[in-house]
């Protein structure tokens, strides 16, 4: 199997590449990444000398670059995206270009070559839910420019299945965490701030709820959808770990031996969704069950950041 992985130098993409090679060492992977602020080749140092791995620096919005990257591919897995909600509020244009137009360029290439296409989406496309769970049939009501751009890409991918009968599959995962996550997201930001003896900024009252999944479990889910997923279908991917931001904060404080005076409550984010929660029965029918407990995975994540300050300290200056 020859894979084109876009955004493979980012957090989830790099974890996916390493995990896929650990399962299928004979496969070939081309990693196409623009190397924006969140894309780092250091994430892939363990496999950079692998003869079955190659890297192309380029933008998914560039048709010629995409054509070159996909030349020998059987499948495109699109992790490439601008992904931070706060940045989308300040500069939404970048999100529309990469997340929507970039996905269009990739889909066109897949259509021309009749390649399988996996779109990596997010639970944020559903918007907020006070109670109950979102299913794959729930309406999409994105609240931020980021989630709106992902919803656009999500539905554009589905349209290529409906219109061109392209073999498209979509995953919508909950909040990922784990090694190599850029320290602007809640968990790595809080861990690294505390390691630097800084306070952690908690939005509003900290009671907003997210479902969390360890990144390696999400990688397993993507592989399961590749292998057993049905053409034209969407699959929710959650960890079954609904936690408030305050719970996450207290857990990290306790692990690092810090007191609650390390918390700084700040003005709430614009359009901040209250709660995300997914019904994952559909992907469970494919045989997917998360392997990692939330508490143990978060402890391992904290340990990774403690032991890899060389990786994250330069990023805190950006």
Q: Is residue 30 part of a domain?
A: yes
Higher pLDDT, 193 or 271: 193
- The residue whose two tokens read 């907003």 is 208
- Choose among 7, 14, 27: nearest CA to 226: 27
Beta bridge partners of 203: 266
Q: Summarize the confidence of residues 119-130 as an average pLDDT.
A: 96
- Does the annotation mark 123 as catalytic? yes
- Does the annotation mark 124 as catalytic? yes
Enter the tokens of residue 268. 């709430």
Instruction: Give the pLDDT confidence score for residue 274 in this predicted structure.
Output: 87
- Does the annotation mark 37 as catalytic? no
Domain count, the chain: 1
Residue 21 lies in domain:
2-180+212-239+274-292
Q: Summarize the confidence of residues 42-50 as an average pLDDT.
A: 97
Catalytic residue among 126, 146, 276, 305: 146
Residue 27 CB coordination number (10 Å): 14
298-308 pLDDT per residue, tens: 999 999 999 99
Q: Is residue 223 part of a domain?
A: yes
Q: Is residue 298 part of a domain?
A: no
Catalytic residue among 99, 124, 154, 242: 124
Enter the tokens of residue 108. 């066109």
- Choose among 280, 190, 270, 198: nearest CA to 234: 280
Sequence-ordered list of residues with C-beta below 8 angstroms from that of 215, at least 6 positions apart, any chain: 11, 12, 15, 176, 177, 178, 179, 181
Q: Is residue 312 part of a domain?
A: no
Sequence-ordered list of residues with C-beta below 8 angstroms from that of 131, at least 6 positions apart, any chain: none
Q: Is residue 197 part of a domain?
A: no
Q: Please classify residue 112 by burial: count the beta carbons closer than 10 Å to its beta carbon, then call 0-12 exposed, 13-18 middle and 19+ buried.
A: exposed
Q: Which of 19-28, 83-92, 278-287 has the lowest mean pLDDT?
A: 83-92
Instruction: Give the pLDDT confidence score for residue 271 in this predicted structure.
Output: 79
Q: Is residue 200 part of a domain?
A: no
Q: What is the distance between the alpha carbons of residues 190 and 181, in angstroms, rounded to a whole number? A: 12
Higher pLDDT, 293 or 269: 293
Enter the tokens of residue 155. 């539905």
152-161 pLDDT per residue, tens: 999 999 999 9
CATH of the domain at 230: 3.40.50.720
């Amino acid at each position: 199997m020859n894979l084109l992985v876009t955004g493979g130098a980012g957090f989830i993409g790099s974890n996916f590449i390493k995990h896929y090679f650990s399962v299928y060492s004979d496969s070939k992977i081309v990693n196409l990444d623009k190397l924006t602020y969140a894309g780092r080749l250091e994430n892939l140092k363990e496999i950079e000398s692998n003869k079955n791995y190659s890297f192309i620096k380029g933008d998914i919005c560039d048709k010629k670059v995409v054509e070159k990257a996909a030349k020998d591919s059987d499948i495109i897995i699109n992790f490439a995206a601008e992904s931070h909600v706060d940045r989308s509020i300040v500069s939404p244009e970048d999100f529309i270009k990469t997340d929507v137009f970039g996905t269009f360029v990739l889909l066109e290439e897949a259509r021309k070559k009749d390649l399988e296409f996996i779109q990596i989406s997010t639970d944020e496309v559903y918007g907020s839910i006070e109670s109950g769970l979102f299913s794959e049939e729930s309406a999409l009501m994105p609240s931020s420019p980021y989630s709106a751009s992902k919803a656009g890409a999500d539905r554009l991918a589905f349209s290529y299945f409906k219109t061109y009968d392209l073999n498209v599959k979509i995953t919508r995962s909950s909040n990922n965490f784990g090694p190599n996550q850029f320290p602007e997201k809640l968990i790595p930001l809080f861990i690294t701030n505390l390691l630097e003896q800084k306070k952690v900024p908690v939005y509003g009252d900290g009671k907003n709820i997210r479902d969390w999944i360890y990144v390696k479990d999400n990688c397993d889910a993507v592989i399961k959808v590749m292998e057993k997923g049905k053409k034209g279908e969407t699959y929710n991917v959650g960890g079954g770990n609904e936690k408030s931001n305050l719970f996450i904060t207290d857990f990290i404080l306790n692990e690092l031996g810090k007191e609650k005076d390390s918390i700084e409550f700040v003005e709430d984010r614009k359009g901040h969704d209250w709660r995300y929660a997914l019904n994952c029965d559909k992907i469970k029918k494919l045989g997917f069950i998360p392997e990692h407990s939330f508490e143990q995975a978060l402890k391992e994540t904290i340990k990774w950041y403690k032991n890899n300050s060389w990786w994250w300290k330069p990023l805190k200056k950006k």
